[in-house]
């Protein structure tokens, strides 16, 4: 284990932060919605960040970004959910399918966002999630949500453009001496 991970683990234990197992599904209460595809949840023992696996909602600064966030908030904020864990990133954020009821027979928030045209299917992360593919194609065909635009910009492309604009602005200021 790297020194950084060991230090983080010691700090986490010292500060009373508990983490759910990355490979174990769990139930939790949603206590916050960061954006359309990221939730803060409370389990019996920990507060966790959960990203909806297999989808990407628009950035909050993009068209439909705030709408996706509000949709997620109305659907799950303050409610019990079931998280079917798919992975965990290096920052401890869990990626999973989020079900709105106590079992996996309930509505899946990941799928609902795609169905409503408020998220893209993330093919790179979830190439076998063919239901998401099908739902995105239906939303595109019906021109629902972000698919009303001729060529909606995925959030990763939006962030890259913003990053380039910021760098260009810095270079311009340096050249002008301000």
Kind and range of the H or E element at 87?
A: strand 80-88
State residue 142's pLDDT score.
98
The Cα–Cα gap between 57 and 120 comes to 6
Is pLDDT at 88 greater than 90 in this prediction? Answer: yes
Banded model confidence at residue 8, pLDDT cuts 50, 70, 90: very low
Segment 104-130 mean pLDDT: 92
Task: Please give the residue that has the higher pLDDT: either 158 or 122.
Answer: 122
- SS3 label, residue 14: helix
Is pLDDT at 78 greater than 70 in this prediction? Answer: yes
Banded model confidence at residue 18, pLDDT cuts 50, 70, 90: very low
Looking from the CA of 149 toward its CB, the CA atoms found within 13 Å total: 12
Note the helical H segments in the chain. 3-14, 65-76, 109-115, 130-142, 155-176
């Amino acid at each position: 284990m790297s020194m950084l991970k060991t230090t983080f683990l010691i700090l986490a234990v010292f500060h009373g932060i508990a983490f759910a197992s990355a490979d174990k599904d769990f139930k939790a209460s949603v206590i916050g919605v960061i954006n359309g595809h990221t939730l803060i949840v409370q389990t019996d023992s920990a507060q966790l960040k959960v990203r909806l696996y297999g989808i990407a909602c628009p950035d909050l600064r993009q068209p439909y970004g705030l709408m996706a966030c509000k949709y997620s908030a109305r659907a799950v904020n303050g409610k019990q959910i079931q998280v079917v864990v798919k992975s965990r990133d290096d920052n401890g954020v869990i990626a999973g399918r989020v079900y709105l009821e106590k079992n996996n027979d309930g509505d899946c928030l990941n799928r609902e966002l795609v169905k409503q045209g408020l998220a893209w299917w993330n093919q790179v992360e979830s190439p076998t999630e063919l239901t998401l593919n099908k739902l995105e194609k239906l939303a595109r065909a019906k021109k629902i949500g972000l698919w009303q635009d001729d060529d909606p910009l995925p959030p990763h492309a939006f962030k890259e453009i913003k990053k380039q604009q910021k760098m260009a602005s810095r270079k311009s200021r340096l050249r002008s001496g301000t």
